[in-house]
Structure 1
Amino acid sequence: MLSQLLLLFILLPFSPTAAAPIGICYGRVANNLPPPRTAINLLQSNGISNIRIFNPDFSTLKSFSGTGISLIIGVPNEILPELASGGPVFSLQWLQNNIFSHIPSNQIRYIAVGNEVFLEDPYYTPYVVPAMNNLYQALQTANLANSIKLSSPQAASVLSISYPPSSGTFDPDIKSSIVPLLQFLSDTKSPFMVNIYPYFSYTSSLQYISLDYALFRSDEAFRDGDLTYRNLFDASVDAFVYAMEREGFGGVPIVVTETGWPTSGGVAASVGTPKRPGEGVEVYLFDLFDENGKSGDEYEKHFGIFGLDGSKVYDIKFN
C-alpha cells in the first residue's frame, strides 16, 4: 500500500562549505495539535532549525521568538489586495504589526507572499507582484531587504509541460503573470518557490512513472539530452530550471517550499540535480504533524513526519 512505502528526499549541498537547509512545514489545520511551545521543543530536540509557517499568527510567532529557528512566514492570499493597493508605508506598518512586533527580524529567512495563487487561487493573481513590490520597498526602508527575501510559492501545475525536463514550459495562460514574478525575483536576488509532490505526479501517471523512480530507489535511468535522471524529484526541479531559462531567467535559484509523501519517508544525500550539479536545493518537508482538519481526500490529512506524541513516523535526520 502507498501508505506503507518509504519516501526518500534529497539533502543537497548548497556550497563547498555549507549544506542547503532542509526544514519542515508547520501546518496547523487541525484541532488536536500540541501547543506551539511543545512543537518547538520537538523541533529543537531533533535539530530542526528551519520552519515554514503559513500564516503570521501572533501567538505562534511569539513562541518561536528567541529560539534561533529560522522561518518562512506566509502572507495569506486574502491579504494581497490590501498590500497591493496600500503602498510601501502601509506594507511597512503591516509587517510591523503582524510580524516584527512578535519575532526578531533575524529569525526571518523568507516572507512567502501568497501560496499557489496563479492556478489554484487565480482571483488574487493581479495582486501578487504589486504586493511584493510594496513589501520589498518596506523592507528597504527597514534596512532588511538584503536579509529577508520575498517570493510567492507556486503549485507544480504552473508548468504545462514538465517531461522531459528540458521541455519544461510555464502554462501559457499564466505567462503574463509568471514573467513579472520572475523579473522581480531576478532583480531582488530571490528564489523561485515551488511546491513539488512526486506522490501526486506518480498517482496521476501510474502508466508512465514507476514507483521506484518516484521513491529515489530506481536502478534505471533515463536520458534527457546530455543529462541522466534517476528520480522524479530531480526531474521535477530541473523542469522548472528549464522553464525559467526559456523565459530568460536561468539564474534564479529554486526553493522547494513543500514536498512530501503520505505517512512514511526518509532522507538521502546527493550532490545536486543533473541540470544544476553541486548547487543546493533548499527543501521544506510537509508536514510536521498530520492535520485532521485538511479538506479533500483522506490522504491529505496524513503527511505528518511526527506523531502527536513526538515519535517519528519515519527515521530522518536534520543535522
Structure 2
Amino acid sequence: MRILRFLFLVFSLGINVLVATAFTGTYGINYGRIADNIPSPEKVVTLLKAAKIKNVRIFDADHSVLTAFKGSGLELVVGLPNEYVKEMSSNADHALTWVKDNVKSFLPETKIVGIAVGNEVLGGGDYDLAVALLGAVKNIHNATKTLHIDKIVQISTAHSQGVFANSYPPSSCIFKEGVDQLMKPLLEFFSEIHSPFCLNAYPFLAYTYNPGKIDINYALFQPTEGIYDEKSNLHYDNLLDAQIDAAYAALDDAGFKKMEVIITETGWASHGDQSEPGATSSNARTYHYNLKKRLAKRKGTPLKPKFVLKAYIFALFNENSKPGAGSEKYYGLFKADGSISYDIGFSGLKSSSASSLSRVSFKDFRGGRMWAGSYSLLSAISAPILILLLRI
C-alpha cells in the first residue's frame, strides 16, 4: 500500500521520475583512438569486459565503435567534437540529424547513455566557440526530446580547470571573469535537465608545472600532511579531492549548490619529456592504484561527503599519434598491443587476458576519424589553475 500511495503522489504531483543518468557505478574510462596501432573496437570490447569496466567515453561518434559495442552491455558516452559545435548551435535541423544518425539509430542495441557536447570549450581561446556552446547544448537536447530518448541519454560538456580563478584554498575558488558570464546560463540549463558539472582534473599536470610547491605524495594519494582550508575548516589529504572541492566552491558561489561534480578525465602519464620527471611507470601505477581504491570506497569529498565521487580514467591506451608534450602519448592503462602498462589490480583481468589480445592480428583495425582537438590535455592548463594554489 505504501508503494501505491507513493506512486499516486508522484503522478498526482507531476514529478518527473525518469532522469537520464550517464554514469552508473564510480569507475569509468576514456577510450581515445589517436593512434595507428591499437586494437580494433571489437577487441576493445573484449578487453573492457575482462577488466569489468562498464562506463566508457569516446570523443566522437565513430560508427565502427558504436557497432562493435552493440549487445555488449557497456554504457557509452559519445562526443560531439568541438568542430561541430558552431554548426549545431546555429542549425537545429543539423543537430536533429546528427543525433538521429549517431545516437538514435544505434539504440537500444548499443547502450548510448550520454552525449558530451564539445570538450573544454569555455576558458579556451576561441570566444566564438564558447558563445556557441549553450545553443549547441540546447539543440542537441531538444533533438533527444524530439526523438524521445531524452530520458535515457544525458547531455553534458566537460570543462578544464582553466575556467577557475582564486582556487587556493579550495573554498575560495570562483569562475574566472569572462567565463562566468557564459557559464551561468549553461549551468542554469544543466540544472533544469539534471546534468552534472563535468570536470577534467589532472594532479599529474599540477605537479608537473609546480613540482617545488606540490608534494608528489599529495598528488599520488600517498601519506602526507596535506593542506588545511581555514575558511571551510576542512583538511585535504590528496590533491584530486581539493581540485573537486574547488569546483564545488565555484558552483556554490555561482548559485548551484546542489549540482554534482563528475570527473570526466583524470590520469597520470607513465613516460614523458625531460621536463616531466613525474611521468614514470611507478608514479602512474601508484596514482591509478590509489585512485581505484579511493573510488571503491564510494565516498564524497570533504566539502560534499554525500556526493559519491565518480571518475572516468584517462585513458585506455597509449596513443602514439597524439600531439604535444611527450607525456601525451603515455596515459594508457594498456599498451597498444593490449598488454597491461602497469598492474593496478583489475578484478577478472590477469596478465594472460591482456596477452591474448597481443597475439591477435590487428589488420582489421578501423580507426575511424582520429579527431584530436576536443581533448588535448594541454588545454587543461591555465595560469590561475589550481596548480599554483594548492601549496603545501
Is TM-score (shorter-chain normalized) higher than 0.5? yes
Query: 1:7: which partner in 2?
Result: none
Instruction: Confirm or deny: 8 A CA contact 2:219 2:239 kept in the other structure.
Output: yes
Amino acid at match of 1:120: G
8 Å Cα contact 1:110/1:150 also seen in 2: yes
Q: Which residue of 2 aligns with 1:157?
A: 162
Aligned 1:237-248 pairs, distance under 5 A? 237-248=244-255
1:251 to 243, 258, 281: 258
Which residue pairs with 2:83 in the alignment? 78
Query: Given residue 77 of structure 2, which amino acid in structure 1 is its aligned partner?
Result: I
Distance across 2 between alignment mates of 1:62 and 1:228: 46
| Structure 1 unaligned regions, length at least 5 | 1-17
Q: Are 1:58 and 1:99, in contact at CA under 8 Å, matched by a contact in 2? A: no
C-alpha distance in 2 between matches for 1:290 and 1:146: 34
1:268 aligned onto 2:272:
no
Q: Give the aligned residue type for 1:215.
A: L
Work out the number of aligned pairs and report it. Answer: 301
Question: More strand by proportion, 1 or 2?
Answer: 1
Helix, strand or coil at the partner of 2:106: coil
- What do the CA deviations read for 1:265-296 (whole angstroms, capped 9, x no partner)? 21223421101114212210001110011111
Q: Partner of 1:289: helix, strand, or coil?
A: coil
SS in 2 for 1:101: helix
**Cα deviation 1:73-102 (Å, max 9, x = unaligned):** 100111111111112x43222111122223
Q: Which amino acid aligns with 2:163?
A: V
1:233 to 226, 236, 240: 240
1:61–1:103 Cα contact (<8 Å) kept: no
Bigger Rg, which one: 2
- Aligned position for 2:335: 307
Which amino acid in structure 1 is aligned with residue 58 of structure 2?
I
Take 1:278 and 1:248, find their aligned partners in 2: how far apart are those partners? 18
> What is the alpha-carbon distance in structure 2 between the residues aligned to residue 106 and residue 149 of structure 1?
15
The Cα shift of 1:139 comes to: 1.3
Instruction: Confirm or deny: 8 A CA contact 1:52 1:73 kept in the other structure.
Output: yes
Cα 1:230–1:197 shift into 2, 3 Å? same
Contact 1:22 1:318 in 2 (8 A): no
Partner of residue 38, structure 1: 43
Structure 2 CA distance, aligned partners of 1:220 and 1:285? 26
CA–CA distance in 2 between the matches of 1:318 and 1:252? 31
State the match for 1:29 in structure 2.
34
Query: Map of 1:133-282 to 2, 5 A cutoff?
Result: 133-224=138-229, 225-263=232-270, 264-265=284-285, 266=289, 267-269=292-294, 270=297, 271-282=299-310
CA RMSD, 1 decimal: 1.8
The whole-number CA distance in structure 1 between the counterparts of 2:346 and 2:306 is 19
User: Structure 1 residues 24, 317: CA separation in 2 closer, same or farther (over 3 Å shift)?
Assistant: farther
Structure 1 residue corresponding to 2:97, chosen from 70, 82, 93: 93
Structure 1's 51 and 230: CA in aligned 2 closer, same or farther, altered over 3 A?
A: same
Instruction: Report which stretch shifted further, 239-248 or 258-267.
Output: 258-267
User: Aligned with 1:273: secondary structure?
Assistant: coil
Rounded to whole Å, the distance in 2 between the matches of 1:21 and 1:67 is: 19
- Aligned residue for 1:245, secondary structure, equals helix
Q: Deviations over 1:78-133 (max 9, x none)?
A: 1111111112x432221111222235377122210001111235241111111111
Could you give the per-residue CA deviations for residues 41-64 of structure 1, whole angstroms, max 9, x where no partner exists?
Answer: 111111111111001111111111
CA distance change for structure 1 residues 139 and 317 in 2, over 3 Å: closer, same or farther? farther
TM-score scaled by structure 1?
A: 0.90
Q: Counterpart of 1:283?
A: 311
Q: Which is worse superposed, 56-65 or 307-316?
A: 307-316
- 5+ residue gaps, structure 2, are 1-22, 271-283, 348-392
Contact 1:19 1:280 in 2 (8 A): no
CA contact (8 A) 1:62 1:103 kept: no
Query: Given residue 329 of structure 2, which amino acid in structure 1 is its aligned partner?
Result: K
Counterpart-to-counterpart distance in 2, 1:262 and 1:188: 35
Residues 143-179 of structure 1, C-alpha deviations (whole Å, 9 max, x = no match)? 2222211111111111122221101111112111111
Change beyond 3 A, Cα 1:284–1:276: same
